[in-house]
Amino acid sequence: MNTLAVGIRKAEPADAQAIADVHHEAWRGAYSGIIPHRALNAMLRRRGPDWWANAMRRSATVLVVEIGGTVAGYATLGRNRARGLTQQGEIYELYLRPEYQGIGLGSRLFAAAREKLAASGLKGMVVWALEDNGGALSFYEGAGGRDAAEGVEVFDQKALKKVAFVWD
């Protein structure tokens, strides 16, 4: 049996195309039928490789998980943006290509993102997930997150509830 090496590292501008591909596939898989078609397509179009290369240049922290040399997922992280929550860090996004979901890579990427935030001196962490994204809710509950706040995101006039999970 072949063993594929798994690694997690900071993304570089050369990863922009691979991350854009992961983003495209993962968001389509997670949000088709939840976020209205037009709004989802518009978001996917905007987030091409140039958008990701720029995001990295503007110093957003992006981590990638690789398996056997393929970028299977990414996470973006930084300071918590919600004023009502006292936790200082936030994972903004955590997404895996559909074919790499469910084999533990998300848990490893999540742990690495959490360590990175702590190493930057940020105490506590927040992650938001759409309430209709049942898989994400199970994942964050399983990772010990406490359901601490609710919000709403509007996509093409469709209001969707989101839930904040926190870790102190």
- Residue numbers at the binding site for ligand COA (CB under 6 A): 26, 30, 94-96, 101-107, 129, 133, 135-136, 138-139, 142
Q: For residue 163, give both structure tokens.
A: 């839930």
DSSP-assigned letter for residue 75:
E
- The token pair at 126 is 């927040």
Q: How far is the CB of 102 from ligand COA (least distance, A)?
A: 5
Determine the Cα–Cα distance for residues 165 and 168; give it in Å rounded to an integer: 10
Residue 136 beta carbon to ligand COA: minimum distance, rounded to whole angstroms: 4
Judged by CB, which is closer to ligand COA: 7, or 104? 104
Nearer to ligand COA, 64 or 129 (CB): 129
Q: What are the backbone angles phi and psi of residue 163, rounded to the nearest 5°?
A: -120, 140
Closest contact distance (angstroms) between CB of 112 and ligand COA is: 12
Q: Which residues contact 140 (CB under 8 A, 6 or more apart)?
A: 127, 129, 165
d(CA 137, CA 52): 26
Report the nearest approach of ligand COA to the CB of residue 1 (Å): 19
Which position's Cβ is nearest ligand COA?
106
18 closest CA partner among 108, 96, 103: 96
